[in-house]
Structure 1
Amino acid sequence: MNKILLPIGDAAEAMDTLYPYYRVREAGYHCVVAGPDARIYPLVMHEIPPGWDITRESPSYHLAAEKAFAEIDPSEYVGLFLTGGRAPEYIRYDEHLLRTVKHFFAEQKPVCSVCHGAEIVAAARVIEGRRMATVAKCRLDIELCGGIYVDNGCVLSGNLVSGRTWHDQHLYMPEFIRLIGEYTAARNGQSTPALGVRD
């Protein structure tokens, strides 16, 4: 079964994480959750309450990572989903995760990023010249690393599809699933359009 990689860490956002986790499985892929270590991670819920200007963080579900980043062989995966929450703030410094992210871009494999997931691709220095969506507070991360911030629910730029927050899941997840399908078809020798043709 084709595998999709889902990196997480402490305080990954629950909605950002759990919907894609189940959606790619529904589409017939094996979703492998990975973290700095192979252990159980607490997810959090992020929302901006009425009258607030910033995000409030609350405890949520837990999710087990079956692999540590150091154990990942990126050649085994056909897709990468970068979730949001506060986890990207610290897992973006993990050399093994960055090596994996760079592999996906070098090989033009499908990557999806939502919300603070932008901090990971920015740290990997793989978004120069690319259009990309993220939550507004991460705009600076994209622009300082040469990317082009777009305030849209789904932005496709080559092998990268991105969204602002989990509120956009109905927009970016179908595109991510489409890219994975095109990539796996091409890998199996079937005729298919080039990735990113809708950009």
Structure 2
Amino acid sequence: MAKVLIIAGDFVEDYELMVPFQALQMVGHQVTVVCPNKSAGDTIKTAIHDFEGDQTYTEKPGHLFALNGDFNDILEPQFDALLIPGGRAPEYLRLDKKVIALVQAFAASQKPIAAVCHGAQLLTAANVVQGKKISAYPACAPEVTQAGGEYCEIAVTEAITDGNFVTAPAWPAHPDWLAQFNQLLTR
């Protein structure tokens, strides 16, 4: 099965990290989660974002998540695919040159890349969405468009695949998003 890299950071969306991490392992993939400036065994804090009828999502403390990989030791050729969860982490992770270089390397190698919610911020910062249909949390739509992608406004329970990219607006899309990503992983 596939070796999947997940790039995360403090205040990553809890469900968007925990569910893919567990579900992808359940179907047989090897999943490594890393965070800049942290090593295997270190923890990151997560946040739970919910949709409760307000103008935007609400945020609550999530779980501590123990990393199982060392960020400084990873290279794109070691992995078959990349997954980028959302939350607040992508906002600052996009400032890390090695994170951007990794996203660009996966895109250049045409390896499957799954991004959900604000995870699209890493795709746009890496300038890899030109001409691609990309979904994301609606607040990221201007970034997708400015980076040359076609923002796709779809139901919060849906995902879209365009080439090697599988994207979705938020965690309620997990069944569709992870199923589409798994199809790319098992080709």
The AA in structure 1 aligned to 2:47 is V
1:155 match? 160
The AA in structure 1 aligned to 2:52 is P
Q: How does 1:120-159 map to 2 (within 5 A)?
A: 120-152=122-154, 153-159=158-164
TM-score, with length taken from structure 2: 0.93
The AA in structure 2 aligned to 1:86 is R
C-alpha displacement of 1:68: 3.9
Q: Which has the higher Rg, Structure 1 or Structure 2?
A: 1
Hey, what's the Cα distance between the residues in 2 that align with 1:156 and 1:30? 22
> What is the aligned-residue RMSD (CA, Å)?
1.2
1:63-94 deviation line (CA, Å, top 9, x unaligned): 12233433211101011110010000001111
C-alpha displacement of 1:5: 0.4
Hey, what's the Cα distance between the residues in 2 that align with 1:68 and 1:136? 32
Q: How does 1:48-63 map to 2 (within 5 A)?
A: 48-50=51-53, 52-63=54-65
C-alpha displacement of 1:62: 1.1
2:173 match? 168
1:73-131 deviation line (CA, Å, top 9, x unaligned): 11010111100100000011111111111111111111101000000000000001110
Moved runs in structure 1, 4+ residues, more than 6 A? Answer: none
Number of equivalenced pairs: 181
Q: How does 1:100-115 map to 2 (within 5 A)?
A: 100-115=102-117
2:28 match? 28
1:128-179 deviation line (CA, Å, top 9, x unaligned): 1110111111111101111100012211111001111011111111110010
C-alpha displacement of 1:16: 1.1
Hey, what's the Cα distance between the residues in 2 that align with 1:46 and 1:175? 23
1:191 match? none
1:117 match? 119
Does the CA contact (< 8 Å) of 2:120 and 2:136 recur in 1?
yes
Does the CA contact (< 8 Å) of 1:69 and 1:97 recur in 2?
no
Task: Please give the secondary structure, in 2, of the residue aligned with 1:31.
Answer: strand
2:44 match? 41
1:28-55 deviation line (CA, Å, top 9, x unaligned): 11110000122200111011323x2122
In structure 2, list runs of 5 or more residues that go unmatched: none
Does the CA contact (< 8 Å) of 2:2 and 2:186 recur in 1?
no
In structure 1, list runs of 5 or more residues that go unmatched: 183-199
Hey, what's the Cα distance between the residues in 1 that align with 2:123 and 2:152? 15
Hey, what's the Cα distance between the residues in 1 that align with 2:25 and 2:97? 28
Hey, what's the Cα distance between the residues in 2 that align with 1:159 and 1:48? 29
Does the CA contact (< 8 Å) of 1:3 and 1:79 recur in 2?
yes
Hey, what's the Cα distance between the residues in 2 that align with 1:48 and 1:155? 21
